[in-house]
A and B are shown apart, each in its own frame.
Chain A
Amino acid sequence: MPLIEVDNLEVTFGHGRDVVAAVRGVSLAVQQGESYGIVGESGSGKSTVLRAICGLAPVTGGTIRIDGTLLTKPRTPAFYRRVQMVFQDPYASLHPRHTVDGVLSEPLAIHGFSDREGRIERALQDVGLGGGFRFRYPHQLSGGQRQRVAIARALILEPTILLLDEPTSALDSSIQAEVLNLLDRLRRERGLTYVLVSHDLAVVAHMCERLVVMQHGLAVEELTRDALQHRQAQQPYTRALLLASEGYGAGLPA
């Protein structure tokens, strides 16, 4: 049985004439321990799928199951202990007036965890930041360090599923490599399940075993990493993306 099962998901925003169908019937199944990628351009609805799983976007049709159980609305605290999200922009996702310590202790307090001291120390170690970062404010951290704090915040509740929304697009490529390696290592050590959204095919090819390509709120094509690496895409849109990722010249429209 798949761990995450999304069936015919629909998400619409707005009312009357201003209705926007952001996701129009997307189905996907992610196995335990798998890393699953969602690729697409801006406005394709890829982030909305993640937000819908997390309860941040209204589900207007279809179902989402975790471990076979239908999700409730609002989500239960137990759900958030299992599923955590890392957002795209580490400059926007950390409260500017909370220290790293505050950021990390809040989820522990909400969920009533014991041994908060030890957990915070360990979480910082795990993401490669020492205890010296504990009482800093976000403005005293670089982009890569902030994203590490965001990952630590997600991991501190010891979830089994991480939803990653473009975790490295706001970072320089050298920092991106460090964060991707960190995510890779954490998944191996803890047997985490990832759903990773990105516009960068190379990042998804590196991180995920399977991926789905989205366009205009629809799933265009599902591929394995192997098929992607051998450029065995069937749909013209996927091929266009593949071509475009090679840079200027190769991807020029004829």
Chain B
Amino acid sequence: MTNLLTVDDLRITFPTRNGPSEVVRGVSFTLGRERLGIVGESGSGKSQTGRALLGLTPAPGKATAKRLEFEGIDLRAATPATWRSLRGVRISMVMQDPKFSLNPVMTIGRQIVEAYRTQKGGAKRDARDRAIAMLEAVQIRDPDRVFNAYPHELSGGMGQRAMIAMMLITEPDLLIADEPTSALDVTVQLEVLGILDRLVADRGMGLIFISHDLRLVSSFCDRVLVMYAGRIVEELRASDLAQAQHPYTQGLFACLPRIEGGTRPLRTLQRDAAWAL
């Protein structure tokens, strides 16, 4: 399997009053055409890792790495022009909340068409047909209505599907999904995952799935990276999550309540200062 993405020793620092604060501290991984999950609590650096792959580390933060390569392109030295040819074309990102990532004063259709024509050009009518087809592909039952709708006229699940359609219309090689389903209801969540799953299988796309939901990630991804305090503390096959070795992963798994009932009180995570070293 050839590697789509290689990350070696990624570090992200933000300057603070008390000197620079390193939020991602030496993250390394490779990605093929597979589903890779990144799990961690808020503040573990998982979202910053995802953003750095697109060069979207918010200023004044700085991302450095020994190696950051996407299909042979060195992302560290990428010029704005290179980024433009990558972002949204070959690497796309789906954010957490459709309410904040769609333009509220443009119809869904116009936004999708714009995304397509900026990258691929072509006639408006063509782009429109493709957008409708894409909306159908993400299981929107009434694509014509959604095409002409504004974001506030759609439910959260619909909005997130429209967002995914917009990100996928350029047929990227890599999709970074940052908590794409956290704002959605459980049943809708599974439908959206089903769509992503099919795209990985059918198009051979690589997927980085960032989430705090250990149970969901373990049931959906092939491989999981567990992050704690800016580091990867464990990498394992998703199916082996129950046999995790690192006490943090074990603790995270054990503190979830279960429908079948379990320990009462729930086990809590005893943090060890050594994990963060």
Contact = CB atoms under 8 A, between A and B. Distances in A.
A174 B252 contact: yes
B258 A205 contact: yes
B194 interface: yes
A249 B194 CA distance: 9
Interface string A23-64: 000000000000000000111000000000000000000000
A39 to B, nearest CB: 10
B259 interface: yes
Contact of A178 (B187, B258, B261, B268): B268
Nearest to B251: A174
Contacts of A93: none
Q: Give the dominant DSSP class at A's interface.
A: helix
A18 interface: no
A213 to B, nearest CB: 12
Interface stretch (B11-19, B163-171, B212-220): B212-220
Interface size class of B (residues with CB under 8 A): 35 or more
A242 to B, nearest CB: 7
A189 interface: no
Nearest to A181: B265
A201 B269 CA distance: 21
B258 A202 contact: yes
A181 B215 contact: no
Nearest to B264: A184
A246 interface: yes
B212 A172 contact: yes
Contact of A177 (B155, B190, B268): B268
Interface in B209-257: 212-216, 218-220, 251-252, 255-257
Interface of A: 41-43, 143, 172-178, 180-181, 184-185, 199-203, 205-207, 225, 228-229, 240-242, 244-253
25 contacts: A42-B156, A42-B185, A43-B155, A172-B42, A173-B212, A173-B214, A173-B252, A174-B41, A174-B252, A177-B257, A177-B266, A180-B266, A201-B259, A205-B258, A205-B261, A206-B258, A229-B259, A244-B186, A244-B187, A244-B189, A245-B186, A247-B216, A247-B219, A248-B190, A251-B186
Interface of B: 41-42, 155-156, 185-191, 193-194, 197, 212-216, 218-220, 251-252, 255-262, 264-269
Ranked nearest first, the 3 interchain pairs of A and B with the lowest CB-CB distance are: A247-B219, A206-B257, A177-B255
